[in-house]
Amino acid sequence: MLITNQKAVLRAVRTAGKDGIMSYIAKRKNRVLRIAEEKKDEYIKMGYTITNDKGEKVADPAITTLEGANAEIERLRKENAELAAKLAKSNSEAKQEEAEKTEEADSTPRRKTPKATAGKE
């Protein structure tokens, strides 16, 4: 439902919740929509600001501009590179520890076990 003016928004807010169904108002630029509660995440991803029936902001849009999207992409690339470096370091340390353990196991003297002398007297 597309609401284009302030009076219509107020009327929608006043009538909301009377039927027992929870709904939100999604706003982006000059577009105001009444949406069901389960559609909230979908509209956030599309760049809408979500408010409840009292006009309180429930959620901000995920990304609002192209610059914001590019900044988020760059931030995620840096975070990915840092995590990849941590993972590589952790893997190399684990391999080094494993190599040290096998080296220690090879260098420890083994106790010889006596052979069974069953039947010999």
The domain segmentation of the chain, as residue ranges, is 2-59, 65-103
DSSP state of 39: G
Please give the sequence-ordered ranges of beta strands (E in DSSP) within the chain, or none if there are none.
2-3, 23-28, 31-36, 49-51, 57-59
Helices (H), 21-65: 40-45
Q: What is the pLDDT of residue 90?
A: 92
Q: What is the pLDDT of residue 100?
A: 83
**Widest Cα–Cα separation across the chain:** 111
Low-confidence ranges of the chain (pLDDT < 70): 1-21, 107-121
